[in-house]
Amino acid sequence: MTDLPHDIALLAAQRHHDPHTVLGVHPTSSGFVVRAWRPMAQHVALVTAAGELPMHRVGDALYAANVATHPESYSIRTTYSDGPAHESADPYCFPPTIGELDLHLMGEGRHQELWRVLGAHVREMDGVRGTSFAVWAPSARAVSVVGSWNGWNPVAHPMRTMGASGVWELFIPGVPAGAQYKFEVRSQHGSTRGKADPLAQRTEAPPRTASVVTDSTFQWTDAPWIAARPTRETWREAVSIYEVHLGSWRRNPDQGNRSLTYVEHAVELIDYVVEMGFTHIELLPITEHPFGGSWGYQCTGYFAPTARFGDPDDFRALVNAAHAAGIGVILDWVPAHFPRDDHGLACFDGTALYEHADPRRGAHPDWGTLIFNYGRNEVRNFLLASALYWLQDMHVDGLRVDAVASMLYLDYSRNEGEWIPNIEGGREDLDAIVFLRDLNEVTHAAHPGIAMCAEESTAWPGVSRPTSSGGLGFDFKWNMGWMHDTLHYFQNDPVHRLYHHHELTFGLLYAFSEQYILPLSHDEVVHGKGSLLSKMPGDRWQQLANLRAMYGWMWAHPGKKLLFMGGELAQPTEWNHDESLPWHLRDVPEHAGVQRLVRDLNTVYRDQPALWRADSDESGFSWLEAADGANNVLAFCRFGGDAKPVVCIANLSPVVRHDYRVGMPLGGPWHTVLNTDDRVYGGAGVDTGPLIADGPSWHGQDQSIVLTLPPLACVWLMPR
């Protein structure tokens, strides 16, 4: 039996956990009573098919009217002092929008379309159009929806709890797409916080923090691409990735130096990527984030593309345009940690809900962020659903999972006594391992042909091996060891490279233990590290030659390729996320030459299967010369089944090497398919000379060739 005065007090104090037991239609001894909660109203009336009936104030903001029969449908007409009467259907007369099966799957952490249940959804209920709201906040004392339609009044629209599930739900008639909203969450201790919707699919543009009701009308035209995706075997294909920060790739100087929109990127970025011969773009996280300086790596909106560049349908247009041009889209995704911003996930319902309560597990010492509790079903479900959302609803072709090493180790960046061992006494985060394996199993089962990539910087075994054999199940692992060794080698003056020769050869000892991506990413050109060009030793000519040689070495080396934007321009200064790339460098011949080299590297790379078909198989690689550190010369051959072999010879000294003999896998005539010292790239134009493999056995090969090696250059040779 309802204790009306007590219920009124709870509603007024924003503490009622189930307002539907009070509001809406309820039987009485003589018929039915309709109750409505209308704070600050002057006049309230019940409107039914029989006409309009005044509702009487029975306490605080509660109004009631008695009727003889249950009204099949009705609305509430409300008059306020500052405007005309407003009529709408009653939010508290509708059944729940979430079913028992949904709640059961959420509790088990197995709801693979969570974004269709939680969050805000425009829908029609019993012929009435409005928006349903649902949020998980199990320890909250009460939750209400506040928004642009109710004056952000926390007592206007209290939600009901869905039992032990911890989900709160309410359908509000008349709320349209485009309305801003938050959840006002009251903790058990009485404090309240306005929280953005964790499953919002659209947000306000920062620094504003509200969520936005959205209802997509986008019409995809990439059905052929999506239909073909399950047949893709990316590890056996040419993959050359252009890593992009959308906010600074290209800006519009005629309009306040603003960033381009998603729609503008759909034309300008995609055209450029096609022109440059890349196969994929990888976007630094576009999941909504409050601080632009985090580049998206500290996000609060795991289901919303940042509003900085447009709305969700605009982002869909960018992905659609990429697919139309034959370009795959990889999205950086961050399940390792999240920021402490008040409107975000931190202490969401007044407790450590998404994070661990103990800071030895829940606080990240390096980044000042919070770490997800992977042992909680609902938290794992939240992250799994986020991954599936981008793959399914946004059609992206893969995810690059950030900071995997920080997830795997409980003592990551922690000193002794600052971390808690697992139940076996070890340093491995067993919950995170289970999550990562689930992530890769679920995403690959739902979307075959996608590429799941791990940024994992340690020697953890089997990162890109199947879960069935004990691996983590990723398709690719970033080869951070290769990156560090290669950059360190090239940063040394050639006169000292003899002592660092092993830095270019060591990577081949483990190159086939994983399926690798070779990354020259944004991380290498920030925080005082300088640009790739500025890392190179010598005068300006030598710096450019070294950079060209490094690119030639990288594109021939086993492993897929990734280059951060600006690297193709030989950008002389460190990347600044608040500025555009220096596009004027295209008018400077030596920089234009590097750009042309990257384009030609991509073209030859894609055209020659020997350079990618056996990337993760040692049968696809053979050293020809690995020990000539004294001359800074290395040579190897790439094979790809029945494809023609490609020989790469690198002379990483500034001295021309005349009459240099190299063993060759085939006799007869060869030709140069790429020379990073070519004049069109800004080089000296030293020619290799006639290329006839007819000499004695050499380097373990039956044939050999004598040629001239250009200085600080890589040459690629193929048999005619």
pLDDT digits (tens, 9 = 90+) for 518-540: 999 999 999 999 999 999 999 99
* Arithmetic mean of pLDDT, 332-355: 97
CA distance readout (Å), 423 to 108, 360, 370, 426: 22, 15, 22, 7
DSSP character string of 149-205:
TTTT-TTTSB-EE-GGG-EEEEEEETPPTT-EEEEEEE-TTS-EEEE--TT-S-BPP
Whether the predicted pLDDT of 12 surpasses 60: yes
State pLDDT tens for residues 557-599.
999 999 999 999 999 999 999 999 999 999 999 999 999 999 9
Residue with structure tokens 């590290």?
Answer: 529
What does the alpha-carbon distance between residue 440 and residue 297 come to, in Å, rounded to a whole number?
A: 21
438 Cβ contact list (under 8 Å, min separation 6): 380, 384
* Arithmetic mean of pLDDT, 701-720: 96
- Is there a contact between 665 and 625 (Cβ–Cβ < 8 Å)? no
State pLDDT tens for residues 23-46.
999 999 999 999 999 988 999 999
- What pLDDT is stored for residue 600 in this prediction? 98
Residue 37 structure tokens = 């909660």
- Is there a contact between 259 and 309 (Cβ–Cβ < 8 Å)? yes
Whether the predicted pLDDT of 243 surpasses 80: yes
Percent of the chain residues past pLDDT 70, beyond the cut: 100
CA nearest to 440, candidates 413, 416, 418, 462: 462
* Arithmetic mean of pLDDT, 261-273: 98
What does the alpha-carbon distance between residue 52 and residue 682 come to, in Å, rounded to a whole number?
A: 84
pLDDT tier at 50, thresholds 50, 70, 90: confident
State pLDDT tens for residues 607-622.
999 999 999 999 999 9
- Is there a contact between 84 and 43 (Cβ–Cβ < 8 Å)? no
- Torsions phi, psi of 120, nearest 5? -120, 130
Residue with structure tokens 């790339």?
Answer: 581
pLDDT tier at 213, thresholds 50, 70, 90: very high
pLDDT tier at 82, thresholds 50, 70, 90: confident
- What pLDDT is stored for residue 64 in this prediction? 95
- Coil, helix or strand at residue 650: strand
What does the alpha-carbon distance between residue 39 and residue 53 come to, in Å, rounded to a whole number?
A: 19
- Coil, helix or strand at residue 681: helix
* Arithmetic mean of pLDDT, 458-487: 96
Number of residues written out for the chain: 720
- Find the Cα–Cα–Cα–Cα dihedral 212, 216, 220, 226, rounded to 10°: 70
State the chain's mean pLDDT as an integer. Answer: 96
CA distance readout (Å), 322 to 263, 316, 603, 633, 661: 11, 10, 18, 40, 45
pLDDT tier at 83, thresholds 50, 70, 90: confident
Enumerate the β-bridge partners of residue 560.
517
State pLDDT tens for residues 186-212.
999 989 999 999 999 999 999 999 999
Stated as kind and residue range, the H or E segment containing 621 is: strand 621-625
Burial annotation 651-676 (CB, 10 A radius, 16+ → b, else e): bbbbebbeebebbbbbbeebebbbbb
**Helix orientation angle between 430-446 and 377-392, rounded to the nearest 10 degrees:** 30
- What pLDDT is stored for residue 2 in this prediction? 64
* Arithmetic mean of pLDDT, 676-695: 94
State pLDDT tens for residues 384-397.
999 999 999 999 99
- What pLDDT is stored for residue 59 in this prediction? 87
Active site (catalytic) residues: 402, 455
pLDDT tier at 1, thresholds 50, 70, 90: low
What does the alpha-carbon distance between residue 268 and residue 261 come to, in Å, rounded to a whole number?
A: 10
Q: Where are the beta strands (DSSP E) in 221-263?
A: 240-244, 251-252, 258-259
